[in-house]
Chains A and B, each alone.
Chain A
Amino acid sequence: MSTIAPEFRLSRFIASLFDIIFWILLIFSLVGLPIVFIILFYIKLPLINGQLLTPYLAMTWLADPSRSVPIIKSFIHTTFFKVAVFPGFGFAALLAAATIFIERKFLAKMQLRVGPLYCGKIEGILQLMGDGLKLMSKEIIIPAKADKPIFWIGPLLFVGTAGAFVSLIPVAPGWVVANPNVGLLAVFATIGFFPIIAVLSAWAANSKWTFIGGLRALHQMISFEIPLILSLLSIVILSGTLNLSQIVESQKHYWWIVFTPISAIVFFITIIAELERIPFDLPEAESEIVAGWLTEFSGMMYGLIQLGTYLKLYAFAGLFTVLFLGGWNGPMVWPPFPEDIVTHGITIGPVTAKFPGLPLFDQEMLNGTLWFVIKTAGVILLILLPRGVFPRIRIDMLLHNGWYKWIGLAFVNIFIALGLLYAGVLGPGGLIH
């Protein structure tokens, strides 16, 4: 885009408006209508009050306030909502976007400067939108000798795996996208994919700097996955289950961090290494290897990788909360839904409207979500803090620490946990329960 704006002419403006309307109509009819038909054919329509809810019926009922609430409620409990909006992608992406903005402002305050300021009227709050629009408008350049299919799917795989990881984290009782009985093992399997993706995209880009960066990413992530897995074994031993929701429920009276603080520290440091954040950001070390395995990604591919990284950040912080800090447990601070709205309805002036089945989300779930968000935000702030304080670590120091010290410390806490279990202090049938 040139920096000198062309002169404004009304005829050109109206021509461009007509152009836009033409394209919208064309795309709507050629693409939108088939999508509507596919939805109508393949999605199971729910049964409400004995009637099959077709879209036409849904729209008639939505206009009638006394009947709209059951429709919304049934939609909220579908799997699609869970995947796309609440504990799944929408919620995580919103938290990730807030994290990016807060990270920039937080680091700026520590470094005695302002951070984003001009985008958006108040202290740069629309900066992220500006960055997203900028990335979308950039040209995606692919090196000539790169391995094109693998290069293209690299960022998509990254976001997909990060999304799979996000889907395993329980936010409130019953609200989790995927709840396998071996949830923690599924987490380990998912994070085992990230080094593969890093090496694939690094190799596919066919350049020396990405090669070095990819190898460093591989070394770093693999050598830190082992202490990560070992440090969580003590939690499994103490709570007796691998299912993440059950681990949270077992923390009703006390949090596991009280009994396994060493594991918590080891886990915290290994997740900073898995996320490639400073002080462990060798794979993206800007001053040595020019952004490492991310060098050749431009435009929206880079945007997808950033999104994936921050989704991973939220997911790891969520995992820390779920395993060590008690997940959604906390005193009930959410006010209960006023009883008379359920029985009498809302009164505005002379009109009284009744909404049967009103509390959309029950109090327990909202309280649990609130505590989960507060704890996760605290953990995220702790993860953001080392970025302003430490320089980058060197690869041989990292490998030395990862293979000797952290594995040793993780084993120490496994022995403590085993000792507490066999002494009859914790676990099912123990003294403290």
Chain B
Amino acid sequence: MTTQLPPGFELEKVDDRIMTLNVGPQHPGSGHMRLIIKVDGDYIVSCDPDPGYVHRGEEKMAEYRNYIQNIPHLERPVIHDSSNILYPYCLAVEDLLGIEVPERAKYVRVIASELNRCIYTLYWLAIYGIFLGHSTMFMWSAGDRELFIDLLEAMSGARVTHAFLVPGGVRNDLPANFEERCLRQVNYFEKRLREYEDIFYQNPLLKARTEDTGILSRTDAIRLGTTGSVLRASGVDFDIRKKEPYDVYENLDFDTVVMKEGDSYARSRVPYLEMFESCRIIKDALRKMPKSGSVRTKLKPNPKGGNDEVYRRIESGRGALGYYIVSNNRPEPYRVKISVGSFRNLICIPYLLKGEKLGNMPAVYWSLNYWPVEADR
């Protein structure tokens, strides 16, 4: 062969034993991305994730919108977890423009963030159930998720894409009777969460499928730079809400959930236990919230940031989510860089799937809490 291949390409030897499978975007087991898996009988020889099917150029588009118009735009990567993906943006813009947020607004933001975290985790658990063939898990999680979506609809006005957090606070105050309704539904939800134990987490078939598969050791987790519940399931005690607290998290009392095994079962259990902690945070915040007060600081029309740059990050359902904003005296930001937890965890997919059985692929892949839309932005 005298033709030169372009850099980065290589010739692949076609082997009789190895079959290349495209767990592609049109597959009930893959989400919005593609995994190119080479299989030798039942064992995966190599796995090559191919993200980028949902890339929209969010960061570039954010440069054409001013700070308030960016709110509905930047919440689109994860539409049902919108408070968490807007939270660091609001914190960063408040730092940039020098805005003070009233106390009640901080509590309302924390409540919205925890409700959204539960919504995202339940959706993730539902899809995990489907990947393993457990349709009841899907239906129960989707049904219980309705309790929270109902609360967020009362709070913000929409079921998904809430556009609720703005720089300066939140867009509207809580409706009447919200505290009592929220407490009732959160209490019922905790009771329902305990029912998941028997049918899902202690189910011998599920344990046989997920225990001891895709083991990520503690040193590897730190070396590969993972974040979020994947890190906490491998024994590293790191939660940004505790280590670098923002808003009123230092006043609220909750624990970090850490498990030591680092296999798929631990990774699927850590977000479940974190939902109990989220319920504790919500109830605590409702108790400690000031009963009245403004929830939004009025901004000057068309606020401009100075020649400045700022970086803030929070803990979302998938890991550390950070925004790096550079401004240069115009109403639109000069550069918005979104650093997403899912994209950091992407490296674990080829690393963990090598040598696994093909039947374990959905269990390991989805337990890494990878949300393709957010990773592609």
Question: Which residues 262-303 of A have a CB within 8 angstroms of B?
Answer: 278-279, 281-282, 285-288, 290
Question: Which residues 28-78 of B have a CB within 8 angstroms of A?
Answer: 28-29, 42
Contact A394 B359 (CB under 8 A): yes
Give 10 CB contacts A-B under 8 Å: A110-B136, A112-B140, A282-B359, A286-B130, A286-B133, A391-B132, A393-B205, A394-B209, A395-B42, A397-B208
Contact A288 B362 (CB under 8 A): yes
Given contacts A110-B136, A390-B134, could you give 19 more A-B pairs where the C-beta distance is less than 8 Å?
A111-B139, A111-B140, A111-B143, A112-B139, A208-B21, A278-B135, A279-B133, A286-B130, A287-B29, A287-B132, A287-B133, A288-B358, A288-B362, A290-B28, A390-B205, A391-B132, A391-B206, A394-B357, A394-B360
How close is B324's CB to chain A, nearest CB, in angstroms? 36
How close is B169's CB to chain A, nearest CB, in angstroms? 37
How close is B283's CB to chain A, nearest CB, in angstroms? 24
Q: Which residue of B lies closest to A209 (CB)?
A: B21
A395 to B209: give the CA distance in the assembly, Å: 10
Q: Which residue of B lies closest to A398 (CB)?
A: B359
A387 on interface, CB distance cutoff 8 Å: yes
A23 to B132: give the CA distance in the assembly, Å: 50
The 9 A-B residue pairs with the shortest CB-CB distance in the complex, in nearest-first order: A392-B133, A111-B139, A287-B29, A391-B134, A391-B132, A394-B359, A287-B131, A388-B136, A391-B133
For A139, the chain B residues whose CB sits under 8 A away are none
A397 to B210: give the CA distance in the assembly, Å: 12
The interface size bin for chain A is 20 to 34
Q: A287-B130, A389-B199, A390-B134 are in contact. Are A396 and B359 (CB under 8 A)?
A: yes
Q: Which residue of A lies closest to B206 (CB)?
A: A391
A286 in complex: contacting residue of B21, B28, B206, CB < 8 Å: B28
Q: A279-B133, A391-B133 are in contact. Are A113 and B139 (CB under 8 A)?
A: yes
For A285, the chain B residues whose CB sits under 8 A away are 133
Question: Which residues 97-150 of A have a CB within 8 angstroms of B?
Answer: 107, 110-113
Q: Which residue of A lies closest to B130 (CB)?
A: A287
Question: Which residues 312-367 of B have a CB within 8 angstroms of A?
Answer: 357-362
A288 in complex: contacting residue of B136, B206, B361, CB < 8 Å: B361
Contact B19 A286 (CB under 8 A): no
Q: Which residue of A lies closest to B213 (CB)?
A: A394
B214 on interface, CB distance cutoff 8 Å: no
A388 in complex: contacting residue of B131, B135, B358, B361, CB < 8 Å: B135
How close is A224's CB to chain B, nearest CB, in angstroms? 16
Q: A288-B29, A390-B205, A391-B203 are in contact. Are A396 and B42 (CB under 8 A)?
A: yes
A281 to B206: give the CA distance in the assembly, Å: 15
Contact A290 B27 (CB under 8 A): yes
Partner-A contacts on B (CB < 8 A):
19, 21, 27-29, 42, 129-137, 139-140, 143, 199, 203, 205-206, 208-209, 357-362
A331 to B28: give the CA distance in the assembly, Å: 50
Contact B42 A391 (CB under 8 A): no
A197 to B28: give the CA distance in the assembly, Å: 25
For A390, the chain B residues whose CB sits under 8 A away are 134, 203, 205
Contact A288 B135 (CB under 8 A): no
How close is A35's CB to chain B, nearest CB, in angstroms? 44
Contact B203 A287 (CB under 8 A): no
A282 to B359: give the CA distance in the assembly, Å: 9
Contact A113 B143 (CB under 8 A): yes
Contact A287 B134 (CB under 8 A): no
For B27, the chain A residues whose CB sits under 8 A away are 290
Q: A110-B136, A113-B143, A389-B199 are in contact. Are A286 and B29 (CB under 8 A)?
A: yes
Contact A112 B143 (CB under 8 A): yes
For B130, the chain A residues whose CB sits under 8 A away are 286-287
A64 to B361: give the CA distance in the assembly, Å: 70
How close is B194's CB to chain A, nearest CB, in angstroms? 15
A110 to B132: give the CA distance in the assembly, Å: 18
A111 to B126: give the CA distance in the assembly, Å: 13
For A391, the chain B residues whose CB sits under 8 A away are 129, 132-134, 137, 203, 205-206, 209
Q: Which residue of B lies closest to A387 (CB)?
A: B135
How close is A184's CB to chain B, nearest CB, in angstroms? 31
Contact B28 A287 (CB under 8 A): yes
How close is A175's CB to chain B, nearest CB, in angstroms? 38
A110 to B203: give the CA distance in the assembly, Å: 17
How close is B89's CB to chain A, nearest CB, in angstroms? 34
Q: Which residue of B lies closest to A284 (CB)?
A: B133
A395 to B358: give the CA distance in the assembly, Å: 10
A320 to B59: give the CA distance in the assembly, Å: 63
A293 to B361: give the CA distance in the assembly, Å: 19
For A388, the chain B residues whose CB sits under 8 A away are 135-136
How close is B69's CB to chain A, nearest CB, in angstroms? 34
A393 in complex: contacting residue of B129, B209, B358, B362, CB < 8 Å: B209
Specify which of A290, A389, A394 lies most central, judged by the most chain B CB atoms within 10 Å of its CB. A394
A279 to B27: give the CA distance in the assembly, Å: 21
A208 in complex: contacting residue of B19, B139, B361, B362, CB < 8 Å: B19
How close is B367's CB to chain A, nearest CB, in angstroms? 13
For A387, the chain B residues whose CB sits under 8 A away are 135
Specify which of B28, B205, B206 lies most central, judged by the most chain A CB atoms within 10 Å of its CB. B205
How close is A389's CB to chain B, nearest CB, in angstroms? 6
A128 to B77: give the CA distance in the assembly, Å: 39
Contact B362 A287 (CB under 8 A): yes
A278 to B137: give the CA distance in the assembly, Å: 14
A197 to B363: give the CA distance in the assembly, Å: 30
